[in-house]
Structure 1
Amino acid sequence: MLMGPAIGLLTILASLLRIPDEAAGAYCGNRPLMMGKSATHPDGGSEAAPGAWPWIVSIQSPLLDDYYHVCAGTVLNNLWVLTAATCFKDEENTMYLWRFVIGTNQLSHLDQNVQVREPLTVVIHEGYNKMNGTDDIALVKLNQAVVYSRFVQPACLPITSANIYALVNCQVCGWSVLINNVFTVADELLEANISFVGLERCNSITWHDGALFPYNLCAGYGEDEIDNCPGDFGGPLMCQDRKTRTFYVVGVTSWGRGCLDKRNPAVFTSTHSFLKWIQDSMSREDHPNFKSMKYNTAKSGDIQRTYSHDAPNKASLRLRRTARSKT
């Protein structure tokens, strides 16, 4: 019969064989299902392994008796999702009906590992302008905290002193796909390697012709691979620290002008440039620059303001006006 220290040793060994769901995720960037697996370098549009990107969110809008994928997002903690303001530019009347699907790669099969939430608060950056894409970043507070598991984990953001361009193995993921020059939504999560393009080059007259701002990142696939597609608006651009192997979400997919044109690569909003805004928005819901008004009232110019709506059997949704603050 095993006694004392022997029993304790067996307990420790048993716990190492499988990470229990309730214990998986004490730190950002954790990928429990990818432990011990070598990094992949897929071409554009390869299917991701289950749990490869456990912070990815499918943001879905209702359609008849079902939902359809409209944007992607990133889990930052158990209550907040990072995405693009562009996802909400024409949807302020229906956002309270949306759902956030977390913990799956396959949209048609939501199993017991999937967690579905509703939006409680949507925070769109004050400077967002849907005509030119300035300050294209947004946060969503969920109506209920997610539970970390092998399939659901928070992503890491870069620290203030980080050198983004020193990171390696950059990846994008999402459900968009280009078939016969028509954008559609794939059932399985797709992933692809992507490489930075210098901002000056990307902004040149024969590329994006001055449309980028200093807080944008530009990245593409090269000669033969397809670019990021509209279904991935709001999704993460992730790059890896060479030493720790941890992935950091360095960008939010904002826009791009064509999936087959090398000179029109994807444009991202740099999370590094908005770290203070993200922190302030998540921690200071009583910020003095947030103003309230009734749902469906008019907007002022191109700047989204605060809305509130109490819908039967739905979470109360508030779209807040925020102060411009970038680091």
Structure 2
Amino acid sequence: MTCLFFFFFLKISNISVQVVSVPGKLPGRRLPRRPAGPARPRKQSKKRAPFWNIQNKIILFTVFLCMLAVTAWTLLWLYISKTESKDAFYFVGMFRITNAEFLPEYRHKESREFLSMARTVEQVVNLVYTTSAFSKFYKQSVVADVSSNNKGGLLVHFWTVFVMPHAKGHIFCEECVAAVLKDSIQTSIVNRTSVGSLQGLAVDMDSVVLNVGLRSDYSSAIGSDKGCSQYLYADHLSLRYPLEISATSGTLMCHFKLVAIVGYLIRLSIESIQLEADNCVTDSLTIYDALLPIRSTILYRICEPTRTLMSFVSTNNLMLVTLKSPNIRRLSGIRAYFEVIPEQKCENTIFVKELTAFEGKISSPYYPSYYPPKCKCTWTFQTPLSTLGIALKFHNYSITKKSMKGCEHGWWEINEHMYCGSYVDHQTIFRVPSPLAHLQLQCTARQSDKPLLVEYGSYNISQRKKKKNAGSFRPLSSLPTPNNIPASGGELTPRPACNTSSLWQPGPLECDGVRDCQDARDEQNCTQIFIPCPPESTFNSYDPFSPKGCNRGSSSLHRIVGGSDSQEGAWPWQVSLHFVGTAYCGASVISREWLLSAAHCFHGNRLSDPTPWTAHLGMHIQGSAKFISPVRRIVVHEYYNSQTFDYDIALLQLSTAWPESLRQSIQAVCVPPAGQKVRSGQKCWVTGWGRRHEADNKGSPVLQQAEVELIDQTICVSTYGSITSRMLCAGVMSGKSDACRGDSGGPLSCRRKSDGKWILTGIVSWGHGCGRPNFPGVYTRVSNFVPWINKYVPSLS
């Protein structure tokens, strides 16, 4: 601008000088008349100034400088822009804020409420990375979505951008960027859940996800390249919401953000999709379990045309569907719809009838939809006679003994034996030679998988063993069973003989290792797995007629943080509390319908509502509970202090009392006498499914146990300072053995020498880290709350 102004000024000056220097041209003035006479020769006019005079040279030089400056700035801008585009690293992630409530205005990006929340989160993330080792490469963070979710609070989706030379990109790893964010969440002296403070925001550490993203997805998410993008909110259970798009040419990039009401899931059904069959890089339809294209949340990806109905279920109340095709040569698009569905529990106890054919079916959750990742199913089968075992027929699926490698298509635990699943093009039969069978399906944690269908029935164990001993048994492991076997076969007891009559029908005698038919047709084309009888479990002895009905027996204990796997039935009063289907805290059984836990597990409006809570009793491995009940009532102590964790105790009333028939699996622990004194150095046990070390990202699937000792109250006070008479410390001063996040509310059990009873001495409350030297765990002292407990549970008094 300065150059242009200078050039303009010089030009105007030059023109004015030339005008005033020409004679006879001044306006308003006439020359005097001359007398008549001979004409004088006219003087030659003055020569014009040469073009390359000093003034023109200055003008041209100035113009040249200005053009050079503009060109230099343009080239510099293009270089910076190109360099930034080439060396920019995009990361997409999300985390859950637990201390904020969702507002409907957050769905509108232009609303004041959304902009305010987005600005707060962006400032927090900016502070995290500008003070990290990546500060000189950090550019910005942008919040793309703030949504509700089934776990309460807010789910924040965001982008983070870094700019650095690609030559140094190898040190800029995905795990490193995620670790910076996770390590900034302060969880030092807080309750032992996974929630910590991130610059004032209460963030669930387990919810933090951060993956490398694409520039194209970033542009679409922040609104600079919207393409065809839609935000669809569904709040009716009985409606189908259409999802249709088509195009005839050009580039197609669509994003559909689907959100359902809190507490429900989304099922997406795809009727047809037309894509150029490709390698899944350019043309694809991708379904995410999030509102941004986060790689680790992919539910499924389709990369070829299909006209077969396929449906997929989310694990939360939101889903993202992206459709990409860079070069459309013919009609391309999608015909689909989505609907809101309730969460489905995949747990059942089945009593198999005597001497019947395959009598029923079990299936993966949301069958015939693809089942979602991380799901768990448990089934308990019981036959009426000890001579009858369980027969299972898998449709187009097979299970084999689990090896050291992981299971790509889910893993199974059947009577404490581990198996991996795989899809095949035939049926397989699995036999459990026991009248009681515990089955657990643990879905793969990565993506959705094909639906499963299994038929069940009983078979005669003794008859089969007799035939096996006769030398006719031959296990088969690789031959297929014909697909045309009917859903309900013949009798499961041996027939006297088989002939070649066309009236003979295939049945459960097939593939039992015995040639029941003369032509051996019953043993042709089979796949068979046969497992040994389950080991006998040892339970604590239980006397329901003893005072208070609490546990007084013992079990052999094997040696949380510094703990080990417990034996099944070793801690029958241990309870796992699930919030909206996810293990959240622990509790202890104190009567047929009452549990004791920690108050901090239920702090806040969402957590204090009993509706989303379920109690899992008699459980050894997560997902294998013998009894599950919704929570009817939550009673938090009226003096509970969320800052100091004083009075950290709560009672939970079950909607359904656990049946007396399960007393071998579920037992009540004894509540101590009021004001009971404990001695330092006494050995006790802490149990739970929480983290096994402080940096662990997830809890243990198997119930953990660790031996700790009660710490002198004086030492406890000198360590923490803020210790009241309603707290006690337990652990190992050298560290190594301790409770951790996820164990909150669980029991600290001490065995009384006088009568062998197990006493609920403490409730897991808080601590500095997990298993740190000189920082034992802090527990609620139960003996100080006996009158308060008796007020609600008078049967214990």
TM-score (ref. length: structure 2) = 0.30
| Contact preservation (8 Å) 2:735, 2:775 | no
Whichever residue aligns with residue 240 of structure 1, its letter is R
Q: Deviations over 1:71-98 (max 9, x none)?
A: 0001110010000001001334653111
- Residue 160 (structure 1) shift: 2.6
Is 1:83 aligned to 2:594, yes or no? Answer: no
Is 1:99 aligned to 2:614, yes or no? Answer: yes
Q: Which has the higher contact order (CA 8 A, sep 6+)?
A: 1
Whichever residue aligns with residue 54 of structure 1, its letter is P
Mapped partners of 2:597, 2:738: distance in 1: 19
What does 1:1-327 align with in structure 2 at a 5 Å threshold? 25-27=544-546, 28-30=549-551, 37-41=555-559, 44-62=562-580, 67-90=581-604, 91-92=606-607, 94-110=609-625, 114-148=626-660, 149-160=663-674, 162-165=676-679, 168-179=682-693, 181-204=695-718, 207-208=719-720, 210-283=721-794
Matched pairs, number: 254
Q: Secondary structure at the match of 2:645?
A: coil
| Contact preservation (8 Å) 1:203, 1:211 | yes
Q: Secondary structure at the match of 1:223?
A: coil
Whichever residue aligns with residue 544 of structure 2, its letter is G
Q: Secondary structure at the match of 1:194?
A: strand
Structure 1's 108 and 219: CA in aligned 2 closer, same or farther, altered over 3 A?
same
Structure 1's 167 and 244: CA in aligned 2 closer, same or farther, altered over 3 A?
farther
- Residue 45 (structure 1) shift: 2.0
Mapped partners of 1:245, 1:40: distance in 2: 18
- Residue 29 (structure 1) shift: 3.6
Mapped partners of 2:567, 2:673: distance in 1: 28
Q: Secondary structure at the match of 1:278?
A: helix
Mapped partners of 2:680, 2:716: distance in 1: 19
- Residue 260 (structure 1) shift: 3.2
Mapped partners of 2:739, 2:567: distance in 1: 19
Whichever residue aligns with residue 155 of structure 1, its letter is V
Whichever residue aligns with residue 51 of structure 1, its letter is G
- Residue 165 (structure 1) shift: 2.0
- Residue 282 (structure 1) shift: 2.3
- Residue 168 (structure 1) shift: 4.1
| Contact preservation (8 Å) 1:58, 1:71 | yes
| Contact preservation (8 Å) 2:674, 2:785 | no
Mapped partners of 2:607, 2:694: distance in 1: 32
Alignment partner, residue 3 of structure 1: none
Identity of aligned residues (%): 28
Structure 1's 52 and 167: CA in aligned 2 closer, same or farther, altered over 3 A?
farther
| Contact preservation (8 Å) 1:216, 1:270 | yes
Mapped partners of 1:52, 1:68: distance in 2: 23
Whichever residue aligns with residue 641 of structure 2, its letter is N
- Residue 182 (structure 1) shift: 2.5
Structure 1's 167 and 248: CA in aligned 2 closer, same or farther, altered over 3 A?
farther
Whichever residue aligns with residue 108 of structure 1, its letter is G
Q: Deviations over 1:112-150 (max 9, x none)?
A: xx1101111111101011111111000011111112321
Mapped partners of 1:129, 1:262: distance in 2: 27
Whichever residue aligns with residue 601 of structure 2, its letter is C
- Residue 201 (structure 1) shift: 1.0
User: Whose Rg is larger?
Assistant: 2
Whichever residue aligns with residue 258 of structure 1, its letter is G
TM-score (ref. length: structure 1) = 0.71
Mapped partners of 2:703, 2:714: distance in 1: 32
Q: Deviations over 1:41-83 (max 9, x none)?
A: 4983211111111111100011xxxx21100001110010000
- Greater CA drift, 47-56 or 218-227: 218-227
RMSD: 2.8
- Residue 243 (structure 1) shift: 2.7
| Contact preservation (8 Å) 1:31, 1:53 | no
| Contact preservation (8 Å) 2:681, 2:711 | no
- Structure 1 unaligned regions, length at least 5: 1-17, 285-327
Structure 1's 124 and 134: CA in aligned 2 closer, same or farther, altered over 3 A?
same
Whichever residue aligns with residue 551 of structure 2, its letter is N
